[in-house]
Structure 1
Amino acid sequence: MNENSAIKTSKKVFIFDDNLEILELCTEILEDLGCQVNTSATTNNVEKQVQDILPDLIFMDNWVPDISGIEATRLLKSNENLKHIPVVYFSANININQLAEQAGADDFIAKPFDINKFEEMVEKYIGG
């Protein structure tokens, strides 16, 4: 990746997923794009977790321990201080588009995902 396509300022991305391999892969991709990455394997106190970081973008898995991705996304989208943060629903479910809509997410990407599509999704929401 050349410097022109890298995200200029250090944008913060928060990933909620209980699959450590996915977290590691996504962290590597996002750091290559110049992002600061925070991850959580649980949606416990999701609003506080997000409030503490105030990310520029959130990736939310459907199957996360504590409360579901749908419930967690709804909590974030109903919070006045957090609802402006784009949430990309991120799951291997066949009906991911319906789940994302149900959750009130801004977008979705199906797992397993193509790395280029993942990078394009990041650029779409926080690109330079």
Structure 2
Amino acid sequence: MKRTIYVLEDDADIGELINFLLTEQGYVVSVFGSIAAFKRHTEHNVLPQLLIIDVMLPDGNGLDVCREWKSADATRHVPVLVMSAYEDYRNDNRAQDADDFVGKPFDIKSFLRTVQMHFH
């Protein structure tokens, strides 16, 4: 079975880097630049096995998406990794719903270990 990851990241360069890194590790990756695009896709497609969400997005806050995802019966079992350059978000009440937090900029090896950890 393919290991599927959805990435919600509005910075095209970071999204491309994450896509490259994870694809090289054998994951099937879909990157979305907005909450709207992410929601349109998830309405009609198979759920991922991991969701990576940036906090600051052009059409909302990734922590709110995390909270919605973790409060829904259909998606609460899917691990959510939240990413932000602002460490303060690690302590935000909405971040408590996340399974993990990655600070930006991130160390590539550490990032890949964190992702891999959620598949074992």
Q: TM-score, normalised by structure 2?
A: 0.89
Higher strand share: 2
**Cα deviation code 1:53-104 (max 9, x no counterpart):** 31010111000122211111111111110111000011101213213x5231
**2:86 paired with 1:84:** no
Tell whether the 8 Å contact from 1:62 to 1:69 is kept in structure 2 after alignment.
yes
Letter in 2 for 1:43: I
**2:15 paired with 1:23:** yes
Secondary structure of the corresponding residue to residue 26 of structure 2: coil
Tell whether the 8 Å contact from 1:16 to 1:40 is kept in structure 2 after alignment.
yes
**2:65 paired with 1:68:** no
Counting aligned pairs with the same residue, the percent is 29
Tell whether the 8 Å contact from 2:34 to 2:59 is kept in structure 1 after alignment.
yes
Letter in 1 for 2:69: L
Letter in 2 for 1:35: Y
Secondary structure of the corresponding residue to residue 87 of structure 2: coil
Ranges of 4+ aligned residues in structure 1 off by more than 6 Å: none
Letter in 2 for 1:90: M
Q: Which runs of 5 or more structure 2 residues have no equivalent in the other structure? A: none
Aligned equivalents of 2:10 and 2:99: distance in 1?
21
Aligned equivalents of 1:58 and 1:124: distance in 2?
13
Q: Which runs of 5 or more structure 1 residues have no equivalent in the other structure? A: 1-8
Alpha carbons of structure 1 residues 76 and 48: separation in structure 2 relative to 1, 3 Å: farther
